């Protein structure tokens, strides 16, 4: 008898801990016997209609139970007559994600450092060593929109308007999170993300936290940390905040939903002193992370309702 759900898609957002999670999934797929379907395509997140149909067909015919993972913007399976899978994902603070990507493109991570690999060999030297503050303050394309509008399209989808920074893409992304994603976690609280994944999808994620905490696995995970990262000036960071306004609205929305889930299942948040919110945000009452007492029966009912979506 197949477990339910038996079709899971992790359309992983770049530089949000996905390589750490994929390392875990490789171990878990052997341990629990599910089909881990990965893709060799890493730089094609937006697809034509025919490419969407082809990919959906390939995913849908994979042996179940499967977990498919790829850097790709949200795909609407039902639009092409397929069964909509359960989606999961993880995001992080948008400025931190951008900085991680900026330096990773130039210098890679510790795996490359150990093997003397040069990241992005075709990059010109003046671009590779471009000061992050110059890039932001002088409005280079890499440090301005639409390049900074990165996280939302993974949840908004393949519609052309999903690539345009604005309310339309933001609201559609929120809607998809509510209707199609079982869990969207926050990288800053990865252990709690793994705990909830184990609770919601035990046939995929059972024992994930003990594997993650294993010193040998930690050693592997540390190799995926980006090297030579520097912090921009406060003025440059403030400019990034303004340019990434919609990304932050989405991030805080997801974070509040995630904290609601944690409270529902009695998980306390161990919060470091948070970075001040950009001035265009109104602080939310949901940021008091005290666990609430819910009867287990209600928790299971809530899970059943999610699965029935």
Q: Answer yes or no: is 150 within a domain.
A: yes
Q: How many helices (H) and strands (E) does the chain have?
A: 15, 5
Burial class (CB in 10 A: 0-12, 13-18, 19+), 148: buried
Q: Answer yes or no: is 282 within a domain.
A: no
Give every CB contact of residue 234 below 8 A, 6+ residues apart in sequence.
Answer: none
- The answer to whether the beta carbons of residues 165 and 246 sit under 8 Å apart is yes
Q: Which residues span the domain enclosing 168?
A: 7-268
Q: Answer yes or no: is 293 within a domain.
A: no
Q: Which residues are catalytic?
A: 71
pLDDT value at residue 184:
98
Closest CA to 71 of 94, 47, 97, 39: 39
Q: Answer yes or no: is 75 within a domain.
A: yes
Q: Answer yes or no: is 211 within a domain.
A: yes
pLDDT value at residue 309:
47
Q: Answer yes or no: is 237 within a domain.
A: yes
Q: Answer yes or no: is 1 within a domain.
A: no
Alpha carbon separation from 190 to 55, 91, 92, 174, 270 (Å, rounded):
29, 10, 10, 21, 12
pLDDT value at residue 117:
53
Tens digits of pLDDT across the chain (309 residues) = 788 899 999 999 999 999 999 999 999 999 999 999 999 888 899 999 999 999 999 999 999 999 999 999 999 999 999 999 999 999 999 999 999 999 988 887 644 444 445 567 788 889 999 999 999 999 999 999 999 999 999 999 999 999 999 999 999 999 999 999 999 999 999 999 999 999 999 999 999 999 999 988 776 655 556 656 788 999 999 999 999 999 999 999 999 999 999 999 988 765 555 555 554 443 333 333 333 333 334 445 545 554 454
**H-only helix segments in 214-295:** 215-222, 234-243, 245-264
Token pair in block for residue 227: 């090297």
The string of DSSP codes covering 78-124 is GGGTPPPPEEEEEE--HHHHHHHHHHHHHH-BHHHHHTTPPSSTTS-
Which CATH number do you get for residue 109?
Answer: 3.40.50.300
Token pair in block for residue 9: 């898609």
The secondary element (H helix, E strand) that includes residue 9 is strand 7-10
pLDDT value at residue 188:
96
The string of DSSP codes covering 16-85 is SSHHHHHHHHHHHHHHH--EEEE-S--S-----HHHHHHHHHHHHTSPSSEEEE-S-----GGGGTPPPP
183: left (phi over 0), alpha (psi -120 to 50) or beta: beta
Domain count for the chain, please give it: 1
Q: Answer yes or no: is 287 within a domain.
A: no
pLDDT value at residue 215:
86
What's this model's pTM, rounded to 2 decimal places?
0.84
């Amino acid at each position: 008898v197949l477990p339910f759900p038996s079709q899971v898609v992790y359309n992983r957002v770049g530089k949000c801990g996905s390589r750490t999670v994929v390392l875990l999934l490789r171990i878990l797929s052997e341990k629990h016997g599910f089909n881990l379907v990965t893709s060799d395509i890493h730089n094609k997140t937006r697809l034509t209609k025919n490419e969407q149909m082809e990919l959906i067909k390939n995913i849908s015919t994979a042996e179940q139970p499967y977990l498919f993972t790829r850097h790709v913007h949200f795909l609407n399976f039902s639009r092409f007559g397929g069964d909509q899978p359960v989606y999961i994902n993880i995001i992080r603070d948008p400025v931190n994600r951008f900085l991680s990507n900026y330096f990773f493109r130039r210098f890679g991570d510790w795996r490359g450092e150990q093997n003397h690999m040069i990241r992005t060999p075709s990059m010109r030297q003046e671009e590779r060593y471009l000061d992050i503050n110059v890039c932001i303050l002088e409005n280079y394309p890499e440090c301005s929109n639409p390049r900074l509008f990165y996280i939302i399209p993974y949840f908004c989808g393949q519609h052309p308007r999903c690539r345009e920074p604005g309310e339309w893409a933001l609201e559609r992304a929120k809607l998809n999170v509510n209707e199609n994603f079982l869990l969207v976690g926050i990288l800053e609280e990865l252990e709690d993300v793994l705990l909830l994944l184990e609770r919601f999808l035990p046939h995929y994620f059972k024992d994930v936290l003990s594997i993650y905490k294993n010193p040998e696995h930690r050693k592997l995970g540390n190799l995926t940390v980006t090297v030579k990262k520097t912090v921009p000036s406060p003025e440059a960071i403030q400019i990034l905040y303004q340019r990434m306004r919609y990304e932050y609205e989405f991030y805080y929305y997801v974070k509040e939903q995630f904290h609601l889930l944690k409270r529902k299942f009695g998980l306390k948040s161990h919060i470091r002193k948070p970075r001040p919110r950009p001035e265009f945000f109104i602080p939310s009452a949901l940021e008091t992370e005290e666990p609430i007492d819910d009867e287990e029966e209600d928790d299971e009912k809530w899970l059943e309702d999610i699965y029935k979506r």
